Amino acid sequence: MANEQAVFKRANQACELCGSSDGLGMYVVPESPDESDNSAIAVCATCLAQLTDASSIDATHWRCLNDAMWSSVPAVQVVSWRMLKQLEGEPWALDLLDMLYLDDDTLAWAKAGVDDREPTLDSNGEALQAGDTVHLIKDLTVKGANFTAKRGTPVRNIRLTQNPLHIEGKVNGQTIVIIAAYTKK
pLDDT of amino acid 36: 81
Distances (CA, A) of 113 to 33, 148, 153: 11, 42, 37
pLDDT at 55 over 80: no
| Exposed/middle/buried for residue 158 (C-beta within 10 Å: 0-12, 13-18, 19+) | buried
d(CA 25, CA 15): 8
pLDDT at 94 over 80: yes
pLDDT at 37 over 70: yes
pLDDT of amino acid 100: 92
* Model confidence band, residue 86 (pLDDT cutoffs 50, 70, 90): confident
User: Residues 100-142: pLDDT tens digits?
Assistant: 999 999 999 988 867 666 788 999 988 888 888 999 999 998 8
d(CA 1, CA 111): 22
Neighbouring-strand partners of residue 170: 175
d(CA 94, CA 88): 5
User: Averaged over 38-58, what is the pLDDT?
Assistant: 88
pLDDT at 33 over 80: yes
Architecture of domain 134-184: Roll (2.30)
Q: Where are the domains of the chain?
A: 4-112, 134-184
For the chain, give the mean pLDDT. 89
| Exposed/middle/buried for residue 66 (C-beta within 10 Å: 0-12, 13-18, 19+) | middle
pLDDT at 23 over 80: yes
pLDDT of amino acid 113: 65
pLDDT at 174 over 90: no
Which segment of 44-58, 79-93, 108-122, 148-162 scores lowest on mean pLDDT?
A: 108-122
d(CA 53, CA 110): 18
**Type of residue at 136:** L
pLDDT of amino acid 1: 62
d(CA 45, CA 24): 6
